[in-house]
Amino acid sequence: MRDEFVALLISQEGYHEGRDSDGSWNNMQQFSPAVPGLEWSQGQAWCATFTAWGATRSGMADRWPITASCWTAVQWWKAVGRWTDYPVLGAPFYMGSSGQDHVGVVVAYDQDYIWTIEGNTNASGSPQGDGVYARQRPRRGAGSPYGYGVPDYPEGTISADPALGGVLTARVGTPQIATPPAEPPAAVPARYRTTINGLEYGYGAHGPQVREVGEALVRQGFGRHYAVGPDEDWRDPDTLNYQEYQRSLGYTGGDADGVPGIVTLQLLLGRIPGQPTVSLAHIISAARTDPGAAQGHQTYGTEVRIVEQALTDEGFLDPVWADGSFGTRTIAAYAAFQRHLGYAGAAADGIPGCASLERLSVGRFTLVD
């Protein structure tokens, strides 16, 4: 299990996250949508999600913390009594003063270094990078890990920890991963339309949203079925190109039919066209106007309603209190949402911050400064 897990992660070396229209990296990647329960993490730092994806795909979901938070993962390993200061083969290492900054997986180690495979890093080893990289890091001193989780591999543990065997040097084998044969394009591409936020996609759809999808597909290398280029009419080449894009994300069968869904569309474009826009500053201002006030104040009514609807969708707010005001009921609901994300104490005060609002916004609204 250990070798297969590491080989799967290594197979992603060279993969890069998406870019915004200005060319900047945007944390949009293929791993969040593929991990049940972590779909919300799209657009967030994804190093922990990358390891959770590998564990899920390798049949280790019950042996690994399935979380997008490095800090939460560290607490999980400690809580189950599987934590060490020594390298462990095929195990996660955590960076930062309490392991909160970054995570990767140990591929090999000796008495001075660990060799790793990591997501959301770069060639210099940044904890906020652009892709999947193989790295070498020191075991001690500056730039060394905070500590290591100890996965419960069926084949046993290999570690430099004297209490876990004291193996001084080790390296994971890299067996071939069985790759299913590529599915040939359907003889007749899917010919139906879907509507997302009032905009149509799929065969027969028309409008600037169609051109936007086509141009994004071309930018990401999925334009080979266009004879000339994308335009505002969705035809079979658009479907075939979108189908190839879906397959690149791991979709198969009927899930790769060439017709956009909300997850793949957001991953492709970095947003969902037609989504309402919510100002971060307005929402924070509304929440701070009078946190002790009863429901009824509507400083930014429309935008607050959008956030309240998202809280309702998540099950934290009774729909009767979604009235466009950030009063006591909404504050309490947002605090419950913050606790759900792992915040505690003063950090779960019901006053939105950028990170928590971004998590709440996924698939619902576009957050702007």
Rounded Cα–Cα distance for residues 73 and 86 (Å)? 17
Q: Domain 2-171, what fold?
A: endopeptidase fold (from Nostoc punctiforme) (3.90.1720)
Rounded Cα–Cα distance for residues 214 and 212 (Å)? 5
What would the 3-class secondary structure string for the chain be? CHHHHHHHHHCCCCCECCECCCCCECCCCCCHHHCCCCHHHCCCCCHHHHHHHHHHHCCCCCCCCCCCCHHHHHHHHHHCCCEECCCECCCEEEECCCCCCEEEEEEEECCCEEEEEEEEECCCCCCCCCEEEEEEEECCCCCCCCEEECCCCCCCCCECCHHHCCCCCEECCCCCCCCCCCCCCCCCCCCCEEEECCEEEECCCECHHHHHHHHHHHHCCCCCCCCCCCCCECCHHHHHHHHHHHHHCCCCHHHCCCCCCHHHHHHHHCCCCCCCEEEHHHHHHHHHHCCCCCCCCCCCHHHHHHHHHHHHHCCCCCHHHCCCCCCHHHHHHHHHHHHHCCCCHHHHCCCCCHHHHHHHHCCCCEEEC
In the chain, where the domains are located: 2-171, 193-269, 277-368
- Entry pTM: 0.50
CATH topology agreement for domains 193-269 and 277-368 = yes
Residue 369 near residue 280, CB atoms below 8 Å: yes
- CA 27 remoteness from chain centre: 8
Rounded Cα–Cα distance for residues 12 and 117 (Å)? 9
φ and ψ at 314, to 5 degrees? -80, -5
Q: Give me the tens of pLDDT residue by residue for the chain, a chain 369 residues long.
A: 888 899 899 888 888 988 887 778 888 999 999 999 999 999 999 999 999 999 999 889 899 999 999 999 999 999 999 999 999 999 999 999 999 999 999 999 988 899 999 999 988 888 888 999 999 999 988 889 999 999 999 988 999 998 998 888 888 864 333 344 445 544 557 888 888 878 899 999 999 999 999 999 999 889 989 888 899 999 999 999 999 998 888 888 778 889 998 778 878 887 777 778 888 889 988 888 755 556 666 678 889 999 999 999 889 999 888 888 888 899 999 999 999 988 999 889 999 988 898 888 876 777 776
Angular region, 204: left φ>0, alpha ψ -120 to 50, beta rest: left
Q: Domain 193-269, what fold?
A: Muramoyl-pentapeptide Carboxypeptidase; domain 1 (1.10.101)
Rounded Cα–Cα distance for residues 146 and 140 (Å)? 9
| CATH architecture of the domain with range 277-368 | Orthogonal Bundle (1.10)
pLDDT at 349: 92
Do the strands 102-109 and 113-121 form a parallel or antiparallel pair, or are they unpaired?
A: antiparallel
Q: Note every long-range contact of 107-112, with CB atoms under 8 Å and residues 24 or more positions apart, other chains counting.
A: 107/6, 107/10, 107/134, 107/171, 107/172, 108/169, 108/170, 108/171, 108/172, 109/139, 109/160, 109/169, 109/170, 110/168, 110/169, 111/139, 111/160, 111/168, 111/169, 112/138, 112/139, 112/140
Please enumerate in sequence order all residues whose Cβ is within 8 A of that of 158, keeping only pairs 6 or more positions apart, or say none: 88, 89, 90, 165, 167, 170
